[in-house]
């Protein structure tokens, strides 16, 4: 059980939502940690509440993300905005970014190796301004989040 849990943790990119981005990166499973529940938009336009927890991010359609919970629960589909990035990533990378000054807002971002990405914006309160267009994360915010990612510490060898 402990070995399974540590193996699972090693396969995650975990980004804390404490207004700084922290991650432990391995390419096998891009995932994020939501410290608290967040409201996102489902593909049909309705509100969907995503519980606090660890989620693997997958692209499910051109502008949709699938959140797969760990431990396994039914997957959640949310609407995202297609974006581009200039980062060099060898495999998909997931980020959860809370903007400074926008403490109620959270971005779940999936960066793909080909320079494309998806950005799903949610709120912790569930409140959204009428008529306001959600702005995707900008390049500076993305770069700041990526600069704070740390490689997962290597486990000591048993030899």
Domain span at residue 91 reads 2-150
Over residues 119-148, mean pLDDT: 72
Percent of the chain surpassing pLDDT 70: 63
Residue 159 lies in a domain: no
Cβ-in-10-Å burial (0-12, 13-18, 19+) of 63 comes to middle
Residue 85 lies in a domain: yes
Residue 7, classed as helix, strand or coil, is helix
Tally of domains within the chain: 1
Residue with tokens 């070995």: 3
Residue 156 lies in a domain: no
Give the DSSP H/E element, type plus range, for residue 24.
Answer: strand 23-25
Residue 12 lies in a domain: yes
pTM listed for this prediction: 0.71
38: CB partners within 8 A, 6+ apart: 49, 50, 106, 122, 123, 124
Using an 8 Å Cβ cutoff, are 122 and 136 in contact?
A: no
pLDDT of 8 > 50? The answer is no
The average confidence (pLDDT) of the chain is 75
Alpha carbons 143 and 71: distance in angstroms, whole number: 30
Alpha carbons 159 and 147: distance in angstroms, whole number: 33
Structure tokens belonging to residue 97: 């970014």
Which comes out higher in pLDDT, residue 131 or 8?
A: 131
Phi, psi of 83 (to 5 degrees): -145, 175
41-94 tens-digit pLDDT:
999 999 999 999 999 999 999 999 999 998 889 999 999 999 988 888 889 999
Over residues 23-32, mean pLDDT: 60
């Amino acid at each position: 059980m402990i070995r399974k849990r540590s193996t699972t943790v090693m396969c995650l990119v975990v980004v804390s939502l404490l207004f700084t981005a922290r991650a432990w990166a391995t390419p096998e499973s891009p995932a994020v940690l939501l410290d608290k529940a967040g409201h996102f938009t489902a593909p049909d336009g309705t509100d969907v509440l995503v519980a606090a927890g660890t989620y693997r991010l997958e692209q499910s359609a051109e502008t949709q993300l699938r959140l797969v919970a760990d431990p396994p629960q039914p997957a959640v589909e949310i609407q995202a905005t297609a974006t581009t990035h200039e980062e060099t990533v060898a495999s998909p990378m997931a980020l959860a970014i809370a903007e400074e000054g926008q403490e109620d807002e959270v971005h779940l971002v999936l960066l793909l190796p080909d320079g494309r990405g998806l950005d799903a914006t949610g709120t912790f309160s569930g409140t959204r301004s009428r008529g306001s267009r959600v702005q995707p994360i900008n390049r500076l915010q993305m770069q700041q989040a990526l600069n704070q990612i740390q490689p997962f510490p290597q486990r000591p060898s048993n030899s």
